[in-house]
Amino acid sequence: MRVARLHGTGDIRIGDEPVPEAGPGETLVQVTAVGICGSDLHWWHEGELGGPALTQPLVLGHEAAGVIAAGPRRGQLVAIDPAIPCTRCRPCRDGYRNLCTRIRFAGHGATDTAPSTDGALREFMNWPSHLLHPLPGTLSAADGAMLEPLGVAVHSFGLGHLPLGGSAAVVGCGPLGLLIIQLLRAAQAGFVLAVEPLAHRQEAAVACGADEVVSPADLDPPLPGVDVAFDAAGTEDAVGSALECVRPGGRVVLAGIPGDDTTTFRASLARRKGLTIALVRRMNETYPQAISLATRGAVDLASLVTKQVGLAGAPEAFSAAQQRTGLKVIIQPAV
């Protein structure tokens, strides 16, 4: 089978490897769609992600869908939940499996508590059977891959505790920010402000339901401020904009991943407003919700996919994603 491995910063190589054999509790999946996430770009561009660093060639990709290749479920299109929690640590037992201290995650390098785990940028992969979520016929493989970022958006939205009919700001309108905007619209938010510097993403924010879209340079925070602000970019400027937008006593949800593993903001501003700040760690058991939202048309996943390429085009696809000239880039390993 063909595999795309990251050997160093900016160095993705396509090679041939044996098709893996499924172990106990695992299922062999033919991967048909993989989205490039911002965290993938950190691995590709920097060789690390918030501490863990690339120590051996790694298969990236955790936003994925595929077709079960063997067994009684053969031929079934599934979304692949990329997180394998230990189920035994305190966070797992408390119901916070996304905070598992020994979690294995597809396309992630080794940590102090978990080994390096290859991701989905390959034609076939084994994965725990219970983490393969069946998809209805109305959803495509690309839709299935988009369910992972939608799940992160669902988790982020929940951390915001939006009041009924409340107002919100979304800072950074890449795929994650656009999905949060769609969820805010589905939840009947009274007002949604989008903050984004790129023109094509501003247009996408309007299409997704933002009431007002401004560039960070033109941001004039609404008075008295929105109930909750979501940072979906991770930069210091984006976090600052989120804090500026929110009302006293409001909430700020930090969903973006900073490039240098540091988040800074004006402590005086946050303190004087008495803000509650929540940080997003992936998602927590949100695939059923995400599948329901996509199936019912409450969110539009297809409109966020602006480029699809075969596995051989993976190196160029990462370059295109890094330039942020579109929205979501999907790689099709089976093509």
Q: What's the pLDDT at 51? A: 81
For 242, other C-beta atoms within 10 Å of its C-beta total: 31
CB 3 within 8 A of CB 16: yes
DSSP code for 87:
S
Q: Could you give the CA distance from residue 61 to residue 224 in angstroms, rounded to a whole number?
A: 41
Q: What's the pLDDT at 184? A: 98
Mean pLDDT, residues 17-33: 97
CB 153 within 8 A of CB 183: yes
Q: Could you give the CA distance from residue 160 to residue 217 in angstroms, rounded to a whole number?
A: 25
**Predicted TM-score (pTM) of this structure:** 0.97
Domain spans of the chain, in order of start? 2-139+301-332, 150-279
Q: What's the pLDDT at 274? A: 98
Q: What is the pLDDT of residues 157-212, one digit of tens each?
A: 999 999 999 999 999 999 999 999 999 999 999 999 999 999 999 999 999 999 99
Task: Calculate the alpha carbon distances from 20 to 29, 143, 228, 257, 310 in Å.
Answer: 10, 25, 46, 32, 21
- In the chain, the percentage of residues whose pLDDT exceeds 90 is 98
Q: What is the pLDDT of residues 118-136, one digit of tens each?
A: 999 999 999 999 999 999 9
Fold of 2-139+301-332: Quinone Oxidoreductase; Chain A, domain 1 (3.90.180)
CB 303 within 8 A of CB 277: no
Token pair belonging to 252:
């700020």
pLDDT exceeds cutoff 90 at 59: yes
- Domain 150-279 falls under CATH 3.40.50.720: yes
Q: What is the pLDDT of residues 251-301, one digit of tens each?
A: 999 999 998 889 999 999 999 999 999 999 999 999 999 999 999 999 999
Chain center to CA of 129: 22
pLDDT exceeds cutoff 90 at 313: yes
DSSP code for 9:
T
Task: Strands of the chain (E only): list them.
Answer: 2-8, 11-16, 26-35, 63-68, 77-80, 83-84, 104-105, 124-128, 132-134, 167-171, 191-195, 212-214, 226-231, 246-254, 276-279, 305-310, 328-332
Prior bond to 224 cis, omega within 30? yes
CB 284 within 8 A of CB 96: yes
pLDDT interval class at 52 (50, 70, 90): confident
Q: What's the pLDDT at 260? A: 86
Place of tokens 């941001």: 219
Mean pLDDT, residues 312-321: 95
DSSP code for 256:
S
Mean pLDDT, residues 37-59: 93
How many angstroms separate the first and last alpha carbons of the chain? 12
**DSSP element (H, E) containing 129:** none
pLDDT exceeds cutoff 90 at 333: yes
Q: What's the pLDDT at 237? A: 96
**DSSP element (H, E) containing 222:** none
Q: What's the pLDDT at 253? A: 98
Q: Could you give the CA distance from residue 157 to residue 192 in angstroms, rounded to a whole number?
A: 13
Q: What's the pLDDT at 4? A: 98
